[in-house]
Structures are given as C-alpha cells and as structure tokens.
Chains A and B, each alone.
Chain A
Amino acid sequence: MQVVLDLDGLDALIGVLRQDGRVVVGPVLRDDAITLAELGSAADLPSGWGVGTGPGHYRVRRRQDTAVFGHSAGPQSWKRFLHPPRRALISSDPAGFHPVEDNAPDYAFLGVRPCDLAAITKLRQIVGGRAPFVVAAQCTEPGEVCFCASMGCGPAAGSGYDIALTERIDSTGHRFLATSGTGEGAEVLARVPARAASPDDVALAEQDVEAAANRMGRAMPELDLRDLLARNRDSAHWEAVAERCLTCGNCTMVCPTCFCVSVEDTTDLDGNAERSQRWASCFEIDFSYLHGGAVRTSGASRYRQWMTHKLGTWHDQFGTSGCVGCGRCIAWCPAGIDITEEAAALAGSEQP
C-alpha cells in the first residue's frame, strides 16, 4: 500500500498510533541536538532543523525548508528504549525474591532512519523484547559522518518497518510517500487521511533516496573486514589509535548495536535488594576483569577489542556485521576517531 500524506496526515498517523495505546517516540530538538523523546503530535518534530557533523563534532543548524526528518543520526539511538541504560532484573525483600516485570510500553518508533532500522534488527536479535511498531524515514539527506551505503544498511529502508516514509518538499508542497511494509502498517495507514500515490510520487521518492547513496560523507573500505581484523591482531596500528583514544567509552554508548551490560547488586537500609543491569563498555578496564585482574588494560587492546568485535567477530557470533554505518561513533568521539579511517589504515598497513 502506497499513499501520500501531508503534514496533517503525519500528525494523524501519530494520533492513530497513540489512540492504539502506543507510546510514540521520535526525533525532537532538545539541548541543541536532535534527540529522541515521546511525541504528542507532529508539532513536536524538529521542523526546519538539520545538523552538521564531523569527527568529534555535531551542531544543529537551521534548514532552508521545514523538513521534519532532514537530519542525520543524533546523540541517542533507539537502543535507549529497546535496551535501557539501566534495568532492574530481580528484587528481594525480607519476604523473598520477586522477578521484575518487563513494563516497557508498547512503542511506536517514528522517523527511524534506515541505518537505525538495521540497528534495531541487529539489537533485537540479541536483547529480544517486544517488537516496536516502526515508521521508518528513508534517508534523503545523509550527513558528513554517514556510511550506511557501504555497510548495506541504507539509504533505502531495508526490511523490518511497518511503514516507510519518504519526505519531500518542492513546489507542490511538503509531503510524505508512505509505504506499508506489514499488514499492520497497512491497517494503520488506512485510518489516516491520505491521497493515492501517483507513479510520479513513487519515482521522485526513489530518485531522492538513490541520490542520497552518492552523498554519503564516508565509506567503509570495500574488503572483507572480518578477515582484515583477524589478520591484524598484532598490528602496530592499534598503538597509533591508542595515542588518540581517550578510552572514555562514548563510542560504545552511542553505538545503536553495542549491547554489553554489567550486572550489579544493590541493597538499601531496609533489607531490600535489587539486581540490575546497566550499559557497560569494553573501554572500561573493569569490563575485562577476570580472576585477579583485568585482561585488557592497554588502550590499544581495548580499541582493538571494540573494532574487532564490531566489524569482525560479530559475524562469527551473530552472522552479520555489528556496524550499520550511522556514524555516531565518529561524531560523538570527543577525539574524532573515525572507524572508517582506522579500517582503511589497517588495510593500508598491509600493503607490501
């Protein structure tokens, strides 16, 4: 099913999802960034705001138009909702143990970029949980640190969406081509005021998304990354990265697929206890603490661990790459370390 919505139609779509009891989450402008928060209506979307990104750099900027999805990945990802930063697992009081119910709401994610759609699939493969209703926003404006095209995760939305939107603003107005990806998506779309999509609407949307593929700010080197990393465990290049790496863990925290947690027990003064998990990072020294001490103490070994798992051993573990090319680890690394450049440098260091 393909229809065309205007901004009122998009607002109606949010209304329908909310009427069905879903918590609709989407992009909003907050703290000088495009972050993710619950949407009450389309008016909450960051209309007319775009972003400029670079290694270790992110700035929101005014757009020439009123596009609501005209921004690349922000500081947060959908991981925050599917795999919260802290989650209680089990609690106890003097009466006994009590499993903690999963009280996550029935989410609808709106404005999911194709890179993040792929990330949701990869993350849910690991952490499970109830599937969200996904309204994807196909990418027509990649950013300077984006490389989803070279990871095969965009700019067109892959599988996993209920509805995919393609935003367009031209002389005939501001509109969204909406394509249903599931029966549920079609049912929701049928309840939203829309007009039928013309062949022109479809052709223009395809053209915009295809053009985006050629405007990626970056690209991952075209070679077997799994093999490259396996061959380079002892590369001198890891030390070169470690000189710049702060080992602060920001890359793993902003990564939409990094899923590691630490499990901690807490107790209070009244005899209650709770076991909870929280986001952990392979850049933390305690992360590799085994009997008697940590096994990855150098910055070089910790960066190698992260990049090797993300691009290499993730394939062995989950049958896919752990990277979707969203570029967050490049933008939100205070030191601006660029995973595509490091992969290219590793490959370059192998040349005879």
Chain B
Amino acid sequence: MPSIAVWKFTSCDGCQLTLLDCKDELLPLTERVHIAHFLEATSVSEPGPYDISIVEGSVTTPEEAERIRWIREQSGVLVVVGACATSGGIQALRNFADVDEFRSIVYARPEHIATLGTSTPVSAHVAVDHELRGCPIDKGQLLEVLTALLAGRKPDLPDTSVCTECKRRGLTCVMVAHGTPCLGPVTHAGCGALCPAVDRGCYGCFGPMNQPNVPALVPLLRRSGMGDDELHLVFRTFNANAEWT
C-alpha cells in the first residue's frame, strides 16, 4: 500500500485540514494508502521514505529551507498544496518590506528569531510534481490528485481561467450583468467558481492562471468601482508573490 506523508511549513493548517474534511472519502482513502506522517491527524510518525508527500506552507526560515530538501529526498511524488506552498502565501508580503524592521518591532528579543528575508514557494527550493492552488485548496482537486496518483494517471488540473468553470456551471457573469469587480478572467481555475456562485466577484485566491492578461483587466476592475487600495489588496494578498504579470 502506498505511504503518504503530510507536512506543514509556514501556513495556517487550513489546507491540510481539507484532507480531514474529506468526510465520506477519508475511510476509503485509508484503505488505499497508508498514512505514515500527518501530525494534524495523528501523533504517530513513521520514518520515510514516503511514496507521496503533501506539503502545505511556504519556506520562511533557514530550518524550513533545509527540511524541504530532506522531504524531497524522502518522497516519491511531491504535491504542494495551497497559496502558501505554491506562491509564498500572505506572508510573502514580507518580500516587499524590511523583515529586520518587522522583527525589531514585533519581538521583545528579536535576536532569538531566525527567519529569512522572503517567503517563497516550495518550487523555489526543490522540484515539485503537482501543485494545488487556493486559499484554501479545493477538496475535489485534492481527491483528484490522490485518485490520479493511485491509478497512475495524469491528474486533471486545468490551468485556465475561473470563467471557464463559471460558464460551464451556468452562472451569470457578475461583472458583465451586475458590475461587480471580478478577478475570474485572470485567476487559475480549480475552485469551481465558488464566489461568483454566491454573487460575489472572484478575489484571486487561486493565483494567476497560465499567462493572465492583468493589464487588460485592471481598467475593467476600475470601471467596476475598484480604487488603487482595492486593486493593491486583491493582487497583494493571498498570492502576493505570484507572477500576475
């Protein structure tokens, strides 16, 4: 039975929680894979190597930069999950600021804090086999990648726009029909158009799609009422470090 390990880096734990959230599928899954390391679910930890490693979180400390290399060596397939692991996450806001300054203001004894100047995705450190986007990831996509690995097939993870999912779902475009600003046309698919389905604009938590045309979207977002502050927030929150342009 293939072994699976779930690892946490700098993150909120929400993405690995998605695995526990696979309520109906969790027991059948444990009959197909052996969970060797998953601290959010069990304190029992078995030594590697592991057939599949699922990594959540970004690399923000020297220790993490070392540990991700060790995990890569121990893992057959490396799947990174969530905005932190795929782009650096919200904590990548540090990439545009002075971390030493933060450290001196936040901590009473800053000399005890060992941290890197940047928050980087796993792919900046080691080779990654599959990436799941989102803050948090989509449960269906997690099961898709696991069932694909178990069957030895390519996972179906389109890198196109959220609009394709929105239209297939039969939703009415919130930007065209309601004037609601929406990042769907530049955002990576995978959520199933979650926000437009509840009449809200996409705010890009899945990060940029393959070759987004952000400069073409920005004037449309402005026309829908977004100002400089809002534009800054949507592109500089969940996937601040991602290549939007």
Q: Is A8 part of the contact surface with B, judged by Cβ < 8 Å?
A: no
**Is B104 positioned at the interface, with any CB of A under 8 Å from its CB?**
no
A299 contact set on B, CB distance < 8 A:
211, 213
Does B13 make an interface contact (CB < 8 A)?
no
When distances are taken between beta carbons in the complex, the residues of chain A under 8 Å from B212 are 246
Which one, A80, A265, A285, A334, contacts B185 given CB within 8 A?
A334
Residues of A within 8 A of B170 (CB): 35, 76, 80, 85
Q: Is B44 an interface residue (CB 8 A)?
A: no
Q: Indicate if the CB atoms of B176 and A32 lie closer than 8 Å.
A: no
Contact indicator B220/A35 (Cβ below 8 Å): no
* Binding stretch for chain B, among A51-59, A119-127, A162-170, A186-194: A51-59
Q: Is the CB of B147 within 8 A of A267?
A: yes
B158 within 8 A of A: yes
Docked-complex contact B168 and A278, CB < 8 angstroms: yes
One of A75, A80, A267 near B173 (C-beta < 8 A): A75
A332 to B164: give the CA distance in the assembly, Å. Answer: 12
A250 interface residue, CB < 8 Å from B?
yes
Q: Complex Cα distance A264/B172, Å?
A: 25
Tell me the total A-B contact number using a CB cutoff of 8 A.
125
Closest to B186 in A: A246
The answer to whether A286 and B159 touch (CB under 8 A), given A31-B199, A35-B172, is yes
Whether A250 contacts B220 by the Cβ 8 Å rule is no
Q: Do B32 and A269 touch (CB < 8 A)?
A: yes
| B58 contact set on A, CB distance < 8 A | none
B177 & A58 in contact (Cβ 8 Å cutoff): yes
CA distance A33 to B173 in the complex (A): 9
Instruction: List, in ascending order, chain B residues with CB within 8 A of A284's CB.
Output: 158, 160, 164
Question: Which of these binds chain A: B2-10, B82-90, B149-157?
Answer: B149-157
A32 touches B177 (CB 8 A): yes
The residues of A that contact B148 with a CB separation of less than 8 Å are 267
Task: Give the CA-CA distance A243 to B150 in the complex, in Å.
Answer: 42
Whether B216 sits at the interface, judged by CB under 8 Å, is yes
Nearest CB in chain B to that of A86: its residue: B168
A331 at the interface (CB under 8 A from B): yes
State how many angstroms separate the Cβ of A54 from the closest Cβ of chain B.
Answer: 10
Flag whether A158 is at the interface (Cβ < 8 A): no
Query: With A247-B213, A332-B176 in contact, do A31 and B167 touch (Cβ < 8 Å)?
Result: no
Q: Mark A242-266, 1 if CB is under 8 A from B, else 0.
A: 1111111110011000000000111
How many Å from the CB of B126 to the closest CB on chain A? Answer: 23
Q: What 1/0 flags go to B171-182 for Cβ under 8 Å of A? A: 111011110001
Q: Which residues of A contact B182 (CB under 8 A)?
A: 334
Contact partner of A250 (CB less than 8 A), chosen from B29, B185, B186, is: B185
A268 within 8 A of B: yes
Chain A residues near B220: list those with CB within 8 A: 56, 334-335
Which residue from chain B places its CB closest to the CB of A279 in the assembled complex? B168
Q: Which residue of B lies closest to A278 (CB)?
A: B168
Chain B residues, Cβ within 8 Å of A58: 173, 176-177
A243 CA to B218 CA in the complex, in Å? 12
- Which residues of chain B are within 8 angstroms of A200 by Cβ–Cβ distance? none
Q: Are A267 and B177 in contact (CB under 8 A)?
A: no
Report if A224 contacts B (CB, 8 A). Answer: no
Residue contact A281 to B164, C-beta cutoff 8 Å? yes
Given the interface pairs A75-B172, A297-B211, the reply to whether A246 lies near B153 with Cβ below 8 Å is: no
- 13 further A-B pairs in the complex, CB-CB below 8 A; given A58-B177, A269-B29: A32-B178, A85-B167, A85-B169, A246-B216, A250-B163, A250-B185, A253-B167, A266-B156, A284-B158, A284-B164, A286-B159, A332-B176, A335-B216
* CB-defined A-B contacts under 8 Å, sample of 8: A76-B170, A250-B173, A250-B185, A253-B163, A270-B28, A284-B160, A285-B160, A286-B160
Instruction: List A residues at the B interface (Cβ < 8 Å).
Output: 30-33, 35, 56-60, 75-76, 80, 85-86, 242-250, 253-254, 264-270, 273, 278-279, 281, 283-286, 297, 299, 331-332, 334-335
